[in-house]
Amino acid sequence: MTAALEIRNVAVDLGGRRVLHGIDLSVACGELVAVVGPNGAGKTTLLRAVLGLQPVGIGRVLVEGRPAKPGRPAIGYVPQRHEFAWDFPISVANAVATGLSGQLGLFRRPSAASWEAVADALDRVRLTDLAGRPVGQLSGGQRQRVLVARALAPRPSVLLLDEPFTGLDMPTQELLAELFADLAHEGRAVLMTTHDLLGAIDGADRLALLNRTIIAADTPAHLVGDPAAWAATFGVGEDSALLRMVAAAAA
């Protein structure tokens, strides 16, 4: 397994304040890594640094061995659901096709190959039946899958998911978690931020506990045996429900 995504000793400053420091994290092809941490821990900033949208102060972010920069087709980005204008009059298929806009370049219209890529992406997230439906009519889970399909359209090797489970019910979360694990195990490197600790422990191959820096990164099986790391990451006391939940997950 090669590391498709490598973050080496990265520090990020925002408005003169150091929000991330000493970040070392790599994600190999075929691996699903979940980043968990409290609000303000720097999860979204980390993803933006990987996308090349957030300049890093020191350190390097390498995607397939090359420095991160916007427009690399190697990365598929799935933003939080509320970032997308769901009231826009556009069909599912056309929304997914916008995932190719960067790759196609200015003035170029989607080709037959593009529509094939769109069809494959829709098929992969099982939205083919809804291809013609306006995006505004979809449920939360379907919307999340539209965003995933849009990210998959350029056939990236790295997939970034920003809090994909927020606001979804458990059955929908489980279906999506299964999809994300499959996407990883097909050979993509998947990096996901989430507040769903149980889902992360259950579904991710590795967990990274983030609070301004990586407090610990290991397989969920190892990490659940380390309550001190969880307590340090989330700033909670010994009697916290969070720690009891982690302990319960360990059992």
State the residues that interact with another protein by CB under 8 A: 51-53, 69-72, 75, 77, 79, 83-85, 88-91, 93-95, 98-99, 101-104, 106-110, 131-134, 136-137, 150
- Closer by beta carbon to another protein, 90 or else 250: 90
**Sheet harboring 189-193: ordered strands across?**
75-78, 158-162, 189-193, 32-36, 206-211, 213-218
**Half-sphere exposure (Cβ direction) of 20: Cα atoms closer than 13 Å:** 31
- Closer by beta carbon to another protein, 142 or else 240: 142
Q: What's the one-letter identity of residue 151?
A: A
For residue 120, which phi and psi values (nearest 5 degrees)? -60, -45
- Closer by beta carbon to another protein, 114 or else 233: 114
The answer to whether 162 and 44 are in contact (CB under 8 A) is yes
- Closer by beta carbon to another protein, 140 or else 243: 140
In a 3-state reduction of DSSP, which class is residue 62?
strand
Nearest distance from residue 246's CB to another protein, in Å?
A: 32
Nearest distance from residue 68's CB to another protein, in Å?
A: 10
Nearest distance from residue 113's CB to another protein, in Å?
A: 15
- Closer by beta carbon to another protein, 144 or else 233: 144
The answer to whether 80 and 163 are in contact (CB under 8 A) is yes
Nearest distance from residue 239's CB to another protein, in Å?
A: 39
Q: What is the DSSP letter of 16?
A: T
Name the token pair of 99: 């995932």
Nearest distance from residue 80's CB to another protein, in Å?
A: 9
- Closer by beta carbon to another protein, 79 or else 199: 79
Nearest distance from residue 238's CB to another protein, in Å?
A: 39
Burial of 171 (C-beta count, 10 Å sphere; 0-12/13-18/19+): exposed
